[in-house]
């Protein structure tokens, strides 16, 4: 896949309970509802979650002030924090064909996997043997 975060969109839309063809405003409303209810401190970073979902969102002052070299790390941290707020119950996250992932998606999935031990989640990835895409670290559970 060449589109950044494309494989992660269906995962996040599923978590939000919105369909693949839901319009952007509906997706933003679902993201905002989770943030409002479960972690209001995430609201300034909403545009970063919207980026992964490929939804248009005006930048907040916090995102606008974020230096480019810190944007990727902040995005990954924000998405993991968002998932933590959204997934309160034990959850199985299934991601197929990770050998086809773009680098941004693979890095985001790696960030999720690094933190899964502290969450009630099981991350199941399926891949073909390949040098490309997501490759789980040897220490990942």
Confidence of residue 96 (pLDDT cuts 50, 70, 90): confident
What pLDDT shows up at residue 140? 53
Per-chain mean pLDDT for the chain: 89
Q: What is the per-residue DSSP string for the chain?
A: --STTHHHHHHHHHHHT--TT--HHHHHHHHHHHHHHH-GGGGGGHHHHHHHTT---PPPHHHHTS-HHHHHHHHHHHHHHHHHHH--S-EEEEE--GGG--HHHHHHHHHHHHHGGGTTEEEEE---S-SSS----TT--
**Is it the case that residue 2 has pLDDT exceeding 80?**
no
**Is it the case that residue 56 has pLDDT exceeding 60?**
yes
For the entire predicted model, the pTM comes to 0.88
Percent of the chain past pLDDT 70, that is, above it, reads 95
């Amino acid at each position: 896949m060449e589109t950044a975060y494309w494989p992660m969109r269906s995962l996040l839309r599923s978590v939000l309970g919105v369909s693949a063809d839901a319009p952007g405003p509906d997706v933003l409303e679902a993201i905002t509802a989770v943030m409002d209810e479960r972690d209001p401190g995430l609201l300034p970073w909403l545009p970063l979650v919207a980026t992964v979902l490929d939804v248009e969102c005006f930048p907040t002052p916090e995102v606008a002030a974020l230096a480019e070299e810190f944007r990727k790390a902040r995005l990954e941290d924000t998405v993991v924090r968002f998932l933590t707020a959204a997934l309160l119950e034990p959850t199985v996250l299934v991601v197929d064909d990770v050998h086809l992932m773009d680098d941004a998606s693979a890095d985001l999935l790696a960030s999720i996997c690094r933190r899964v031990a502290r969450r009630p989640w099981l991350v199941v990835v399926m891949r073909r043997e390949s040098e490309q895409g997501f490759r789980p670290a040897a220490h990942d559970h």
